[in-house]
Amino acid sequence: MARLSRENKASRPATARARRPAKAVAERPTRRRRKSSGDTPYHHGDLHEALLKAAEQVLERDGLPGLTLRAVAREAGVSHAAPTHHFGDLTGLLSELAAIGFRQFGAAMAAARASATTPPERGMASAKAYVAYAQAHPGMYGLMFRSERLDYSRPSLHEASEASFAGLARGVGASRQEQISEESLSLDQAAAIARAWSLVHGFTMLLLEGRLSKILNRSPEGTSAEMLLDAMVRSTGGRPPRP
Amino acid sequence: MARLSRENKASRPATARARRPAKAVAERPTRRRRKSSGDTPYHHGDLHEALLKAAEQVLERDGLPGLTLRAVAREAGVSHAAPTHHFGDLTGLLSELAAIGFRQFGAAMAAARASATTPPERGMASAKAYVAYAQAHPGMYGLMFRSERLDYSRPSLHEASEASFAGLARGVGASRQEQISEESLSLDQAAAIARAWSLVHGFTMLLLEGRLSKILNRSPEGTSAEMLLDAMVRSTGGRPPRP
DNA sequence: ATTTAAATCTTTACATCGTAAAGATACGGG
DNA sequence: CCCGTATCTTTACGATGTAAAGATTTAAAT
């Protein structure tokens, strides 16, 4: 528990700094202060980046419900209203963080695609990488796909999620051994992409929420989530509907 | 907008009732007051049920983020702390409401299964009913599958969700033309259930969050979500993996 | 180089939320 | 008829998001 009364003032002696007279300014080490300079100047230097890193840490440590504006500000050792000037509001911060997640996620998927050789292997590797990312970063995945407070009109988030989706579509196209256009899709192509995405996203969500445990418990001894995914994807296959 | 200052006192003139002397008690219509009695007695009669109905209304009107304990109390015309005595805390209320949702959902799925005749039709009808329920009750579906504050150890919720899942499993078994045991599953059976559930759940989540619009927009003119679902499920098929 | 505007960060304030505790009221068993 | 108990209200507290005003540093303009 260890509830902190009021805001966490311990991380930074604000009162001492507040009554500091202006003559102490000269003792700053450099004009453009760097991080880990020992001192805590009024201007942080790159608080934007620091807040995003703090947010990622809070998300991994306390999960999605613990990811609040004030918690992030505490983690960064800064006043609770500071994030406002860099992200506008909570939606802004969460959206920028989700954009980072989509970039990480897209990179992991691309690596998985590159590691496989044959088209069927490629699909399976992608599916496993998809679930593996979500299991390794459940908070981030929840933020990306389950949060109500994301603003996809923000350029960074829009671009990152679009790129991630384009990778998925390209992967499905490759497993069907045909080119996927950016502009238009046939119904078969659209269905293939929707099927692959729905299957792996649904599996991931159910797995993260513990809804698959009933199935896993009734499965043969020692059946893991990955084995279930393997069996599930294999029987679905990446083959085109018309042989 | 229309923000209310402080709590909404307008729904019930608390002050007038508070200083009412005890002699006015006799004018109550009946000993066991019924709803819509015109008067607002101190004891509600069946606040438990009334709160659940109010919660469902708030959920449909304002969505999941608007579903707060205080909003439900306002909707029911009762003090903000009243729900505590019937549901313990927010988790309790949400869990009981989710149980209602699972019962509605299970009934809709059962009806869909009953309306179809052949096994392949049955699978398709179930899938469409699944998505249709979520589209008709997006808030409830979100509560059931996306809420962090549900307590599945509560008997009503546990039982309702278990029953809903059992219906799904039975449906998958029927489409494979084999009996599904309550105790143990073969890996093929487990994979078939996980595949059907993941596919339709993933599709539903992506659809509700607007993530499929990119696919639908690039699809042939006039492609609806239902058509996409149809094409998606048809190519997946309910056939057993070993013909 | 000095003054001034802008950017950055803190403090203060407020409405809302969940929850706990204490007070008021009505019901039901003795 | 009376008193214990269940039901409901009031009051209170800490937490959160957000707005507004003050403090401080940087950057620009003259």
* DSSP codes, chain B: --PPSSS--TTS-HHHHHT--GGGGGG-S-SSPPTT-SS--SS-S-HHHHHHHHHHHHHHHHTGGG--HHHHHHHHTS-TTTTHHHHSSHHHHHHHHHHHHHHHHHHHHHHHHHH--SHHHHHHHHHHHHHHHHHH-HHHHHHHHH-S---TTSHHHHHHHHHHHHHHHHHHHHHTTSPPPSS---HHHHHHHHHHHHHHHHHHHHHHTTTTHHHHHHSSTT--HHHHHHHHHHHH-S--S--
Q: Which residue of B has its CA nearest to A229?
A: B191
The nucleotide whose C1' lies nearest the CA of B66 is C17
Judging by beta carbons within 10 Å of its beta carbon (0-12, 13-18, 19+), is residue B47 exposed, middle or buried? middle
Which residue shows structure tokens 């990955």? A226
Cβ contacts of A170 on chain B, cutoff 8 Å: none
The nucleotide whose C1' lies nearest the CA of B47 is D7
- Asked whether the predicted pLDDT for residue B231 surpasses 90, the reply is yes
Q: How far apart are CA A190 and CA A178, in angstroms?
A: 13
Confidence tier at B52 by pLDDT (50, 70, 90):
very high
pLDDT value at position B182?
A: 86
Q: Which of A87-101, B28-42, B157-171 has the weakest average pLDDT?
A: B28-42
Cβ–Cβ below 8 Å for B191 and A64: no
List the A43 CA – D26 C1' distance (angstroms): 9
Q: How far apart are CA B75 and CA B63, in angstroms?
A: 14
Cβ–Cβ below 8 Å for A201 and B202: yes
Confidence tier at B239 by pLDDT (50, 70, 90):
very low
Rounded to an integer, the average pLDDT of B6-29 is 36
Q: Which amino acid is at A138?
A: P
Cβ–Cβ below 8 Å for B185 and A235: no
pLDDT value at position B26?
A: 31
pLDDT value at position A235?
A: 83
pLDDT tens digits, one per residue of B98-118: 999 999 999 999 999 999 999
Candidates B148, B190, B212; nearest CB to A218: B190
The nucleotide whose C1' lies nearest the CA of A45 is C8
Q: Which residue of B has its CA nearest to A146?
A: B146
Could you give phi then psi for residue A89, rounded to 5 degrees?
Answer: -150, -170
pLDDT value at position B37?
A: 40
Q: What is the pTM of this model?
A: 0.85
Burial A105-117 (b: 16+ CB within 10 A, else e): bbebbbebbeebe
Cβ contacts of A146 on chain B, cutoff 8 Å: 146
Strand D nucleotides, any atom under 7 Å to a protein CB:
7-12, 14-21, 23-26
- All residue ranges of chain A with pLDDT < 50 are 1-6, 8-38, 238-243
Contact between residue A122 and residue A170 where contact means Cβ atoms under 8 Å apart: no
pLDDT value at position A7?
A: 57
Strand C nucleotides, any atom under 7 Å to a protein CB:
8-13, 15-22, 24-28
B8: left (phi over 0), alpha (psi -120 to 50) or beta: beta
pLDDT value at position A185?
A: 96
DSSP A4: P
pLDDT value at position B237?
A: 54
pLDDT value at position B233?
A: 95
pLDDT value at position B240?
A: 41
Judging by beta carbons within 10 Å of its beta carbon (0-12, 13-18, 19+), is residue A217 exposed, middle or buried? exposed
Of the residues A148, A151, A161, A218, the best mutation for testing chain B's interface (the one with the most B CB atoms within 10 Å of its CB) is A218
Nearest one of A37, A34, A40, A28 to A76, comparing CA atoms: A40
- Taking the Cβ of residue B186 and every Cβ of chain A, the question of whether any pair is shorter than 8 Å is answered with yes
Q: How far apart are CA B192 and CA B102, in angstroms?
A: 22
Confidence tier at B173 by pLDDT (50, 70, 90):
very high
